[in-house]
Amino acid sequence: MVAGGLNAAAAAEDTIKVGVLHSLSGTMAISETTLKDTMLFLIDEQNKKGGVLGKKLEAVVVDPASNWPLFAEKAKELIAQDKVSVVFGCWTSVSRKSVLPVFKELNSILFYPVQYEGEESERNVFYTGAAPNQQAIPAVDYLMKEEGVKRWVLAGTDYVYPRTTNKILEAYLKAKGVAADDIMINYTPFGHSDWQTIVSDIKKFGSAGKKTAVVSTINGDANVPFYKELGNQGVKATDIPVVAFSVGEEELAGIDTKPLVGHLAAWNYFQSIDTPENKAFIEKWQAYTKNPKRVTNDPMEAHVIGFAMWVKAVEKAGTIDPDKVIDALPGTEAPNLTGGTSVMLSNHHITKPVFIGEVNETGQFDVVWKTDGLVPGDAWSDFLDGSKDLDSDWVKLKCGNYNTKTKKCGGQAS
């Protein structure tokens, strides 16, 4: 019994286990399955280089099945039973919120690769997707300045990310002088399929003689019938453009993109960006998947950056001990695929460029606008009361929600 236990422990020590926590079934599988494949690809590539600390990496993949409480159960299983040293996973904010207590309690590390609503900075989480100031705010600025938009439809799936993002955007628009009756807000459940009435309402709202746009935080497979209905009702991108925060190359693959041509998306990466780094990555990815048509997208790039940072931090720390790796991560740099270098900040967010892309007939995006340089991720919004006085700094302040007015940690429950 003891000998068997020792042998199992010795075998486990021969590899470093990496947890992969992405939905492979349910409403979010359309977006998350490719992130599981990305992690397997990155682990395979790292093993070809000799692994990490002289050990091979071993992926441990679970399927939380788009079921938010199940994310917490699966995270616990990965950390407590499978003894993974790090987890790459989650897409929706509700899944991330579900696992936070587990990572805190068991003191493990989560790399979260998707754009989100901000208003959070946890010691055990590293946020490699965009904060609102790296996606939502620049997208609205673009529509205001370049497209002359005066009326706004904020359409989202009914959960924490769209609701908080829209709260930030509503405050931002009002601060820019937009009247309350020029803002329409709408929420629909996950997997929503009947868009007839909503699209009709959007058309009506857009017929007031002012340039109107839809800012979409609709997530998952509900996007397919939404864009189809826009096409059915003749809503063209030239009339009412939609800028999406959760529609990328993966969501467009395999659907009829005709209704989407001319509509927009705001991301920090597009497959169409022409850099040597991106070209090399796409070639390796398509060779690994044995599919020359396999697309790349923004959350994939976030995993590329996060994984590279984790490898560097482990090698710098000389151990997979979570406390030492957490301390080693801030200041770590990794090349992004768009030709720059991203840095992990003391607030556990990274620096990223911002791009606005327009859907073309091939289901790819033509970049129509980009920031001059890389934008540092801001954990707390400057436009929300209760947030604008908060700072996050896990290096000097050792706090994710430091109130700069009261000079106390715990300015708001994070």
Determine the pLDDT at residue 411: 60
The whole model's pTM is what? 0.92
Rounded to whole angstroms, how far apart are CA atoms 107 and 90? 17
Q: What is the pLDDT along the chain (414 residues), one digit of tens a residue?
A: 344 444 444 445 789 999 999 999 999 998 999 999 999 999 999 999 999 999 999 999 999 999 999 999 999 999 999 999 999 999 999 999 999 999 999 999 999 999 999 999 999 999 999 999 999 999 999 999 999 999 999 999 999 999 999 999 999 999 999 999 999 999 999 999 999 999 999 999 999 999 999 999 999 889 989 999 999 999 999 999 999 999 999 888 877 888 899 999 999 999 999 999 999 999 999 999 999 999 999 999 999 999 999 999 999 999 999 999 999 999 999 999 999 999 999 999 999 999 999 999 999 999 999 999 999 999 999 999 889 999 999 999 999 999 999 999 986 444
Domain boundaries, the chain: 2-132+275-353, 134-267
CB atoms near residue 255 (< 10 Å): 16
The listed CATH number (3.40.50.2300, 3.40.50.1100, 3.40.50.920, 3.30.470.20) that belongs to domain 134-267:
3.40.50.2300
Determine the pLDDT at residue 10: 46
Domain 2-132+275-353 matches domain 134-267 at the CATH topology level:
yes
Rounded to whole angstroms, how far apart are CA atoms 344 and 328? 10
Determine the pLDDT at residue 253: 85
Determine the pLDDT at residue 258: 87
Cβ atoms of 257 and 302 within 8 Å: the answer is no
Cβ atoms of 251 and 223 within 8 Å: the answer is yes
Compute φ and ψ for 63, nearest 5 degrees. -120, 100
Compute φ and ψ for 411, nearest 5 degrees. -60, -25
CB atoms near residue 190 (< 10 Å): 18
Determine the pLDDT at residue 410: 86
Mapping DSSP to helix (H, G, I), strand (E, B) and coil, where does residue 172 land? helix
Cβ atoms of 238 and 262 within 8 Å: the answer is yes
Q: Which homologous superfamily does the CATH classification assign to the domain defined by 2-132+275-353?
A: Response regulator (3.40.50.2300)
Rounded to whole angstroms, how far apart are CA atoms 55 and 224? 43
Burial 102-117 (b: 16+ CB within 10 A, else e): bbeeeebbbbbbbbbb
Which helix H or strand E contains 376, and what residues bound it? strand 375-376
Rounded to whole angstroms, how far apart are CA atoms 207 and 196? 17
Determine the pLDDT at residue 16: 98
